[in-house]
Amino acid sequence: MSSETLREKLEILADAAKYDASCASSGTARKNSLGGKGIGSTEGMGICHAYAPDGRCISLLKILLTNHCIFDCHYCVNRKSSNVRRARFTPQEVADLTLNFYKRNYIEGLFLSSGIVKSANHTMEQLVEAARILREEHDFRGYIHLKSIPEADPELIDQAGLFADRVSINVELPTRSGLSRLAPDKNEAQIEGAMGKTKARIIQAKDERKRFKHAPRFAPAGQSTQMIVGADAARDVDIVGKASTLYKAFGLRRVYYSAFSPIPDASAVLPLKRPPLMREHRLYQSDWLMRFYGYAPGEVAQATEADGNLPLDIDPKLAWALKFRGQFPVDVNRASKEQLLRVPGLGTTAVARILKARRHRTLRLDDVARLTQSIAKVRPFLCTVDWRPTMLTDRADLRALLAPKQEQLELF
Amino acid sequence: MTAMQNVSLGAHYAVHLPAPDDFAFWRERARGLIQCDVPPDRVSWVEPGGTGDLFALEGPARSEKRLPVPSSNARPVRASKRFLKLARNAALHSDPQRFGLLYRVLWRLQSNPRAMEDSADPDVRRIEELDKEVRRDSHKMHAFVRFREVGDDHYVAWFEPDHHIVRANAGFFMRRFANMQWSILTPRGCIHWDGETMRESGPARREDAPQGDPTEELWKSYYASIFNPARLKVGAMLSEMPKKYWKNMPEAELIPDLIAGAQAREAGMVAAGEREVKTIPESLAAVEQGIAACRDCPIADCGTRAIMGEGAADAPLMIVGEQPGDQEDQQGRPFVGPAGQLLDQCLDHAGIDRSTAYVTNAVKHFKFKWKGKRRIHQTPTAKEVDTCRWWLEAERSLVKPRVVLALGASAARGLLGRTVSVGKERGRPIPLEDGSELWVTVHPSYLLRLEGEACDEQGQLFARDLAAVRARLAELTE
């Protein structure tokens, strides 16, 4: 009987947690269980222990402590006015479940979030307690991601950072008007204030560790946030702008985008439609351009179309290159790293390979083909000793040539 | 060239490896052969159980004996760090050519120490590929091994790797599960950890591993619940979790049904939240027609009629109640039942002429439950209020009142889109987006339910709220 109820609770509280996109377990301090009393390790790369049919990785046990909530955010499945089934775990149940899954190698750790019950402080205390049981009573050395509640006392958020590898607060919507319309109980200043405090605490802990070897770590995997895409009228330009401000202001490790997806018993204010998955994908690509390819937020904005949104049929890097054809073709044998990173179809790995290989030989087109994923895609934008795209870069129908072919629908 | 003394010109050498993943052995032999200047095309590397080399028909013992021995002052063999790093992994690959390839590149490194930097070179590229495939296989082993409990804190897993990676990954599992007893059984050999020492044993069969674990039911529930059917992307799943791994993962048996049901689940959610796309009504008459036809929420199916607001079309004051009641539904007008009569009295008392105000409701239909022969009022849900908000907003944008008076929490939600506490918000204006202001107070039916002292007290508060609205209205319309 009791296992039956545990299973029901797990179903409800995992279902309630699935709209949080983050499942990362990478980039934290290296730990292992040698010389300890418990289990767990984190070694560099995150591990995805399974993939759901939605293509998303399952790395952590991602659940809510409870889906009861006193807030009424229209986009949220757990809002007060929704009539979904409610359930509640005790911190001990969460800890036991995490350990049982971890011992069977199902997960890298725990991602615990919660609806707000009673008060922000009470909720935060319960979250911290689950992490404390794992860390202190079971010497658990796997990954823990805790969601901070911005309205909670800073001391509680502080404790969360001492137990967790990562803490996060969701900004939810890129514009203030969107937030006040769709999340009337949330407050932008409060959310950003809490993120600012967390940033200061992370910097302080890093500084302490430089001086004292045994100073406690504080959220070694940093903090992240999430924005919902497609629930309000924000354009891609707004979203990219907000993301880059957040990266700069709060030193975030990641900004996650979550396409607004149909939920059971949706709010009347937000009509449901298919989630804008391709738009979400393009936003992630633009995020990568800013983080790894040296694009400024303004340059990503240059890649958008007249309506302020990124094109859906081609990726933002190609869109930018097509708009600024004067910068191409670049000479693979002479171009700087920055120039090569702007060539559509060349990733950071391929660029590194090219830079190394060209010290040994003058690259020809088939050399480049060996170093890249698809030569057809990069060819119009570069020249080698035996290849010049001549007319290709100037062709008016280049976009049509490079865009992925539309698949013809099958008879149904 | 002293090394050449014991190398017979043109001779072919076969080296037999004791284990397919024995990199240290290969390294030792390769070093000696290079010191003896044996070119790559004269060496073949034979794995245990592998087919021997065509040119070296001798058995392992004899061919070992025939390997040349480098002289003590032979030139040291050098290799770049990158080669060592990649070669260690590439040696674990199941490609039978791997040791030959590694020897060939090691040979070339002696004359060109930077050969490994040139990824455009086919041999270097191949080593990179082998390394990548082995790393991927190891990564999948870290991810997809599934332990099953066989005794008190004793766990056993069955895994089928593509390459010879088991021994190389023992350390990962030891560091992770240091204080647990576990075994990983594979067709390429097994590893066992008892909490202190690591033990190896020969190949195992699938039947040797335990067949189930009660916690798997919980795990499967989790797997099914964390899946979002509205985001179905089977290709993305398959590229990271190819089918070959499925047979050893308990959750994988759910996948076909999850995929099959996904579209229906998504369509169901979208349909449940679907509303008819309407054009914004341009007149109160259009609103009246619209609400009569509206079926966006279940209340409309109660069989009651839609009650339109009434009053001056340019009224400076708009009074919003919750929903029509039994009397309102029968008479077809808002606020005519007991609560309406009380409201009229109170308005009169406060000096507000009802005929100058526009009176309407947050929800346009009467929601009730039969109790015997009586229709008992049911409070509308937040969602129903939100659904009907479309009509209330339309009325408000047409009438353009300066002051809106919300009676009760449902009315306040209809105007604000969020639930507020009447007790906290009453007695002061809340600015609305269009520049008008909202005053919140209790619903008169609340006063009807009270008795004695509480009734007097609340009645006074209600009168005070109405008086404040009257004063504010006078200020604004002067």
- Reduce the secondary structure of B28-75 to three states and give it as a string: HHHHHHHHCCCCHHHEEEECCCCCCCCCCCCCHHHHHHHCCCCCCCCC
A32 neighbourhood in chain B, CB within 8 Å: 175-176, 178
Using one digit for the tens of pLDDT, what is the confidence trace for B142-187? 999 999 999 888 999 999 999 999 999 999 999 999 999 999 999 9
Q: pLDDT value at position A245? A: 93
Please enumerate in sequence order all residues whose Cβ is within 8 A of that of A391, keeping only pairs 6 or more positions apart, or say none: none
Q: pLDDT value at position A401? A: 78
Region of residue B426 (left: phi > 0; alpha: psi -120 to 50; beta: else): beta
Q: Which of B225, B244, B386 to mutate to test the interface with A (most CBs of A within 10 A)?
A: B225
Top mean-pLDDT range of A361-365, A389-393, B116-120, B416-420: A361-365
CA distance B292 to B392: 14
Please enumerate in sequence order all residues whose Cβ is within 8 A of that of B183, keeping only pairs 6 or more positions apart, or say none: B155, B156, B157, B190, B191, B192, B193
Smallest CA–CA distance from A184 into chain B, residue: B418
* Least CB–CB distance from B218: residue in A7, A38, A353: A7
Least confident of B43-52, B71-80, B454-463: B43-52
ipTM above 0.85, yes or no: yes
Least confident of A1-15, B120-134, B394-408: A1-15
A72 neighbourhood in chain B, CB within 8 Å: 382, 418-419
In angstroms, what CA-CA distances link A99 with A105, B115, B224? 10, 48, 20
B266 neighbourhood in chain A, CB within 8 Å: 262, 274
Residue percentage of chain B with pLDDT more than 90: 66
In angstroms, what CA-CA distances link B381 with A17, B7, B288? 24, 92, 22
CA distance B9 to B37: 11
Q: pLDDT value at position B304? A: 83
Smallest CA–CA distance from B173 into chain A, residue: A41
CB spacing of A33 vs B179 below 8 angstroms:
yes
CB spacing of B275 vs A271 below 8 angstroms:
yes
What's the whole-number mean pLDDT along residues A150-154? Answer: 91
Residue percentage of chain A with pLDDT more than 70: 96
Helix (H, G, I), strand (E, B) or coil at A229: strand
pLDDT of residue A117 exceeding 70: yes
Q: pLDDT value at position A285? A: 96
Using one digit for the tens of pLDDT, what is the confidence trace for A276-320? 999 999 999 999 999 999 999 999 999 999 999 999 999 999 999
* Least CB–CB distance from B232: residue in A7, A32, A53: A53
CB B323 within 8 A of CB B366: yes
What's the whole-number mean pLDDT along residues A168-187? Answer: 89
Q: Which of A4, A41, A72, A105 to mutate to test the interface with B (most CBs of B within 10 A)?
A: A105
In angstroms, what CA-CA distances link A326 with A322, A374, A403, B291, B476? 9, 23, 20, 58, 62
Q: pLDDT value at position A81? A: 83
CB A292 within 8 A of CB A349: no
Helix axes B382-399, B409-416, angle to 10 degrees: 60
CB B318 within 8 A of CB B396: yes
Cα–Cα nearest to A279, from A240, A326, A334: A240
Chain A residues 345-404 within an 8 A CB cutoff of chain B? 353, 356-357, 359-361, 363, 367-368, 370-371
Kindly report the nearest CA distance between residue B302 and chain A, in angstroms.
19
Q: What is the DSSP letter of B310?
A: E
Kindly report the nearest CA distance between residue B450 and chain A, in angstroms.
27
A57 neighbourhood in chain B, CB within 8 Å: 240
Phi, psi of B418 (to 5 degrees): -145, 160
Smallest CA–CA distance from A268 into chain B, residue: B387
Using one digit for the tens of pLDDT, what is the confidence trace for B98-115? 999 999 999 999 999 989
Least confident of A51-60, A202-211, A402-411: A402-411
Residue percentage of chain A with pLDDT more than 90: 67
pLDDT of residue A263 exceeding 90: no
Q: Which two tokens stand for residue A309?
A: 């949104």
Q: pLDDT value at position B478? A: 74
CB spacing of A104 vs B221 below 8 angstroms:
no
CB spacing of B119 vs A72 below 8 angstroms:
no
First to last CA, chain A: 46
Residue B9: which pLDDT band, with cuts at 50, 70 and 90? low
What's the whole-number mean pLDDT along residues A83-104? Answer: 95
Q: Is A268 at the interface with chain B, CB within 8 A?
A: yes
* Least CB–CB distance from A81: residue in B266, B275, B382: B382
Top mean-pLDDT range of A308-322, A368-382, B284-298: A308-322
CB spacing of B383 vs A265 below 8 angstroms:
yes
B219 neighbourhood in chain A, CB within 8 Å: 101, 104, 106
Cα–Cα nearest to A85, from A19, A16, A20: A16
Q: Which two tokens stand for residue A332?
A: 């693979």
A268 neighbourhood in chain B, CB within 8 Å: 275, 296-297, 383-384, 386-387, 389
CB A109 within 8 A of CB B218: no
CA distance B308 to B388: 12
pLDDT of residue B2 exceeding 60: no
Kindly report the nearest CA distance between residue B245 and chain A, in angstroms.
10
Q: pLDDT value at position B183? A: 96
Q: Please provide the average confidence, as pLDDT, over all residues in chain B.
A: 89
Residue percentage of chain B with pLDDT more than 70: 93
B149 neighbourhood in chain A, CB within 8 Å: 103-104
Cα–Cα nearest to B103, from B181, B43, B178: B43
What's the whole-number mean pLDDT along residues B422-427? Answer: 91
Supply the pTM of this predicted model: 0.84
Exposed e or buried b per residue across A87-111, where buried means at least 16 C-beta atoms within 10 angstroms of its C-beta: bbbebebbbbbbbbbbbbbbbbbbb
CB spacing of B175 vs A104 below 8 angstroms:
no
Smallest CA–CA distance from A42 into chain B, residue: B176
Kindly report the nearest CA distance between residue A20 and chain B, in angstroms.
10
* Least CB–CB distance from B120: residue in A10, A52, A363: A363
Q: pLDDT value at position B59? A: 47
What's the whole-number mean pLDDT along residues A23-52? Answer: 88
B255 neighbourhood in chain A, CB within 8 Å: 53
Exposed e or buried b per residue across B184-202, where buried means at least 16 C-beta atoms within 10 angstroms of its C-beta: bbbebbbbbbeeeeeeeee
* Least CB–CB distance from A50: residue in B216, B241, B297: B241
Residue A59: which pLDDT band, with cuts at 50, 70 and 90? very high
A40 neighbourhood in chain B, CB within 8 Å: 176
Helix (H, G, I), strand (E, B) or coil at A257: strand
Containing B392, the helix (H) or strand (E) segment is helix B382-399
Q: Please provide the average confidence, as pLDDT, over all residues in chain A.
A: 90
CB spacing of A356 vs B275 below 8 angstroms:
no
Paired with A330 in beta bridges are A382
* Least CB–CB distance from A371: residue in B120, B234, B387: B120
Using one digit for the tens of pLDDT, what is the confidence trace for A232-255? 889 999 999 999 999 999 999 999
Paired with B407 in beta bridges are B441
Q: pLDDT value at position B276? A: 63
CA distance B201 to A115: 49
pLDDT of residue B446 exceeding 80: yes
Kindly report the nearest CA distance between residue B459 and chain A, in angstroms.
30
CA distance A329 to A343: 9
The residue with greater pLDDT, A26 or A143, is A143
Helix (H, G, I), strand (E, B) or coil at B436: coil
Q: Which of B173, B174, B176 to mutate to test the interface with A (most CBs of A within 10 A)?
A: B176
CB A365 within 8 A of CB A344: no
In angstroms, what CA-CA distances link A148 with A162, A286, B186, B229? 12, 27, 42, 27
A186 neighbourhood in chain B, CB within 8 Å: none
Query: E strands of B198-340, at which residues?
Result: 198-201, 310-311, 317-321
Kindly report the nearest CA distance between residue A94 and chain B, in angstroms.
13
Q: pLDDT value at position B61? A: 45
Q: Which of A33, A54, A370 to mutate to test the interface with B (most CBs of B within 10 A)?
A: A54
Kindly report the nearest CA distance between residue B95 and chain A, in angstroms.
20
Kindly report the nearest CA distance between residue A337 and chain B, in angstroms.
17
CB spacing of B272 vs A266 below 8 angstroms:
yes
